[in-house]
Amino acid sequence: RRSAYHRHTFKSAKDKHVVMNLSRTNSVRPGNAQWTFRQIDDTSFCGSQNGMFFYAVANQRVTGTRTVSNAREQFTVIDFADGAKTVELKIGFSYTSTDKARLNMQTEIEGKSFDQVRAHADKTWDEVLSKVRVSGGTELQKQLFYSGLYRVMQNPNLRSDVDVDQHATVYSSNNYWDTYANKLVILQMLEPDLVANIIRSDIQRAEKTGFLSSGFHGDFCTSFVTGSYLRGIRDFDVDKAYQLALNNATRSWCNGHKGGRKYGDEYRRRGWIAENKVANPTVKTEENEAKASVQKTTEYAYSDYSVALMARALGDTESCNVLMDRSKNYRNLFDKSTGFMRGRLADGSWVTPFDPGIPYYVYMYRESNGWMATFFAPHDPQGLVSLFPDKGAFEAKLDKLFSTPFEGYEADNMTGWFGQYCVGNQPSQGIAYYYYFIGKPEKAQEKIDKIMNDYYAMGKEHLAYAGMDDEGSLSAWYVMNAMGLYSFSPADAEYIVTVPVFDKVEFTMGDTTFTVTKKGTGRKLDTISYDGKPLNGYFISHDDLKRGKELVITTRQ
């Protein structure tokens, strides 16, 4: 878990080199990483990159090392002596020191062969992925499903060393804005012990400031904590986690540190965040010019709801009532004259001119536009519907979102457009399910199926996604819909039922296994039953699934 084993097989036993690019990472511009490298002896070398340390041992003699540069990057070249064609490297990693990296490598893989380590890795992954078994569907759908589940399980990263007590294991922080909606829900279902460790790690980091870090922006760590608790994951300091989540929602200063929500004071005072006056906004307007005011307001409203659920569960009625009331704040930015969530200036007037089709990076919206931002109220879908003249008007607006052509703007992180729905980024992921709340689940399924069929497994080799996976978030969307379950509101311990692509899904959750069975060849949802009884509505609870019974989804043409 903290080590790697490389095998490099060359065409010739002579002139063998392994090249390391320590100057490049995924998180900084090429050539800007902070790194070190040092040869220790004839077979060992070590170094670091942006706070992560490594220690490596080769099976052949190192004859020298050198640095080769181009205009942007520096490459460390390791030269090996003439001899066998195969160079093997055992590498340990640590976020503490090179000594700990060496300890991790020695503890985990020293004395083991490459094939032994590879077999162990295969067995470990097979045990994890086999917690969900599917039958039916096409081979491509199965490949997509298990590749997606693998991607979901790759993050977060383990940060603590082998000599740390298991209960104190530390994991990296999540980019919650990307992962809260479905990727982390899959972890809550499959790996509750891991989830408890993640929350303990978040608490440990938060104790210094008094605030939970949500990652990127927004405040979705609170949704993760609540959703975990309500799904029965309690092996963390619940009271401390709740207090930290409450701090995020109600405070700006704690322990002498500024934190919580950006523009949180303004949000609490006004009930919405005012947008800055920007003379000539563009798709790439920078964060120091604009606030992403609509996105933050609507997302903070959902986070208020998330913390309110935790307050209710823990008996804090006063905080629950305040936060539940604030969770309706998204309505303050709904412009009835246009039917869109729209930015407002400090004087209360609407941002003008207004074009809902422009996908701004931070102006009014965050990697989103007016169409997408209008359909974000997973905690209050009927309330969102009620903002429109009637259900027919709401349905027509949803229809137009999927049918209005995208105008071809070049916006960072936004690709794969289905009308005004951006498949390749997170803000769109919950939109199709709003058809359920006007009694049209078949329309939702039509959109879901098109996304699964046309925007995944793209290209000649069926390997491309329309967008960036962001720690498995796009993969998770596919995985959940392929199973027929989606976490419409991830803070709530329940799932909206869709039509799976497989005939049967067997899902092991703790000590029990529940089954999802699809009957019929159509793609329109007809009836839903669990344990032989009709489901009341379209949602099934996490607790019901934990009973280990059969969910039967009957379809029609």
Q: What is the 3-state secondary structure (H, E, C) of 48-61?
A: EECCEEEEEEECCC
CB 476 within 8 A of CB 175: no
- Count the neighbouring beta carbons within 10 Å of the beta carbon of residue 312: 17
Which residue has 């803070």 as its token pair?
A: 491
| 3-state SS assignment for residue 163 | coil
Q: In this predicted structure, what is the pLDDT of residue 214? A: 81
Residue 425: exposed, middle, or buried by beta-carbon count in 10 A (0-12, 13-18, 19+)?
buried
- Count the neighbouring beta carbons within 10 Å of the beta carbon of residue 168: 11
Q: In this predicted structure, what is the pLDDT of residue 412? A: 83
| 3-state SS assignment for residue 45 | strand
φ and ψ at residue 23, rounded to 5 degrees: -85, -5
Task: For residues 129 and 475, give the distance between their C-alpha atoms in angstroms, rounded to a whole number.
Answer: 14
Q: List the one residue out of 364, 490, 471, 369 whose CA is nearest residue 422.
A: 369
Q: In this predicted structure, what is the pLDDT of residue 376? A: 98
Residues 6+ apart with CB under 8 A from 385: 391, 394, 434, 437, 438
Q: In this predicted structure, what is the pLDDT of residue 545? A: 98
pTM for this prediction:
0.95
| Max CA distance (Å), the chain | 79
The secondary structure of 456-509 as a DSSP string is SSBTTTT-B-SS--TTTHHHHHHHHHHHTEE-SSTTSSEEEE---SSSEEEEEE
Asked if residue 156 has a cis previous peptide bond (ω within 30° of 0), the answer is yes
φ and ψ at residue 351, rounded to 5 degrees: -60, 130
Q: In this predicted structure, what is the pLDDT of residue 218? A: 82
Q: In this predicted structure, what is the pLDDT of residue 32? A: 82
- Count the neighbouring beta carbons within 10 Å of the beta carbon of residue 121: 13
Q: In this predicted structure, what is the pLDDT of residue 45? A: 98
How big is the chain by its Cα radius of gyration, in Å?
Answer: 25
Q: What does DSSP assign to residue 349?
A: P
Q: In this predicted structure, what is the pLDDT of residue 168? A: 85
Q: In this predicted structure, what is the pLDDT of residue 93? A: 98
Helices (H) and strands (E) in the chain, counts: 17, 23
Q: In this predicted structure, what is the pLDDT of residue 29? A: 74
Q: List the one residue out of 52, 159, 162 whose CA is nearest residue 106.
A: 162
CA 360 to chain centre: 21
Token pair of 529 as six digits: 């039953």
Q: In this predicted structure, what is the pLDDT of residue 174? A: 87
Tell me the pLDDT of the chain (557 aa) as tens digits.
999 999 999 999 999 999 999 998 877 777 788 999 999 999 999 999 999 999 999 999 999 999 999 988 999 999 999 989 999 999 999 999 999 999 999 999 999 999 999 999 999 999 999 999 999 999 999 999 999 999 999 999 899 999 998 778 999 888 999 999 999 999 999 999 999 999 999 999 999 999 998 877 789 999 999 999 999 999 999 999 999 999 999 999 998 999 999 999 999 999 999 999 999 999 999 889 999 999 999 999 999 999 999 999 999 999 999 999 999 999 999 999 999 999 999 999 999 999 999 999 999 999 999 999 999 999 999 999 999 999 999 999 999 999 999 999 998 889 999 999 999 999 999 999 999 999 999 999 999 999 999 999 999 999 898 898 999 999 999 999 999 999 999 999 999 999 999 999 999 999 999 999 999 999 999 999 999 999 999 999 999 999 999 999 999 99
